[in-house]
Amino acid sequence: MTKREISKLFEDRKIRTVWDDKEEKWFFSIVDVVGVLTDSADPKQYIKRMKSRDEGLKANWGTICTLVPLVSEDGKKHKEMTADTTGIFRVIQSIPSPKAEPIKQWIAHVAAERIDQMQDPELSIQQAMMDYKRLGYSDNWINQRLKSIEIRKDLTDQWKLHNVEEGRINNRCKSMQCCNFTLPLS
C-alpha cells in the first residue's frame, strides 16, 4: 500500500500518532482509526460493540490498547486508547467495513509474502533490494549495504564460535568509537 493509497483511504483525515522513544515505535489513536474506517458518529461506542462481537479482541484488549496522552479537539492532552502497528492492524481486522477491506487485503498479501520468504530466504534479499531502490538508494549503495550485513553476520558467527558475548564487544567498540578493522575472508 502506498502513502497515496493510505491517504486516500483515510480521506486525509487526521489520525493522531505518537512516537515512543523507549519502545521505539509509533502508537496510533484507536478512536481516530475506527472513526475514519467506520464513519461512526461515536467511535468509542463502536469500539465497545466491536469488542462484544469479537471475543478474541476483547480478551486481548489489555495487550493491544495502551493509554497515551494525546492532544484532543479541545487542545488539551487526555489519555487516549492507542495501539502500536501490530495492535492497530488487529483492531482493523475486526472492523466489518468496506473502508477497512483494502487494509485487510494488504495485510493478507504481506503475510503471504512473508511466508514465501520464510520458505525461500533469497526472496527476503530481493525484497530488501527493491525496498532500498524504492527509497532512492543507488545500486552501489545497496550492494555495499548487503555486503556489510553479510560481513556483520560472519563477524557475529565468529564471536559465537569463540564464546564471545556479542553485546560486550559491541559496547566496547561503541565506547572506543574505533571499529576500523578488516576481517580475513575465508
pLDDT in tens, 59-80: 999 999 999 998 888 889 999 9
The pLDDT assigned to 186 comes to 44
Percent over 70 (pLDDT), the chain = 82
How many Å apart are CA 46 and CA 61, to the nearest integer?
14
Q: What is the CA radius of gyration of the chain?
A: 22
As beta bridge partners, residue 10 has none
Confidence grade of residue 166 (pLDDT, cut at 50, 70, 90) = low
Residues 169 and 108 placed together within one structural domain of the fold: no
How many Å apart are CA 124 and CA 170, to the nearest integer?
26
Residue 163: which domain range? 122-176
Residues 112 and 28 placed together within one structural domain of the fold: yes
How many Å apart are CA 142 and CA 152, to the nearest integer?
15
Helix (H) or strand (E) holding 13: none
Strands of 21-174, DSSP E: 25-29, 66-71, 77-83
Inside any domain, residue 38: yes
Supply 141's cell numbers.
549503495
Contact in structure between 10 and 36 (CB atoms under 8 Å): yes
- Residues 75-91: pLDDT tens digits? 899 999 999 999 999 99
Contact in structure between 151 and 181 (CB atoms under 8 Å): no
Confidence grade of residue 105 (pLDDT, cut at 50, 70, 90) = confident
Mean pLDDT of 163-171: 68
Mean pLDDT of 94-123: 87
Residues 127 and 84 placed together within one structural domain of the fold: no
Inside any domain, residue 113: yes
Nearest-CA neighbor of 105 among 9, 7, 36? 9
Confidence grade of residue 178 (pLDDT, cut at 50, 70, 90) = low
Inside any domain, residue 97: yes
- Single residue among 119, 137, 152 that ends a domain in this structure: 119
Q: How many domains does the chain have?
A: 2
Residues 63 and 130 placed together within one structural domain of the fold: no
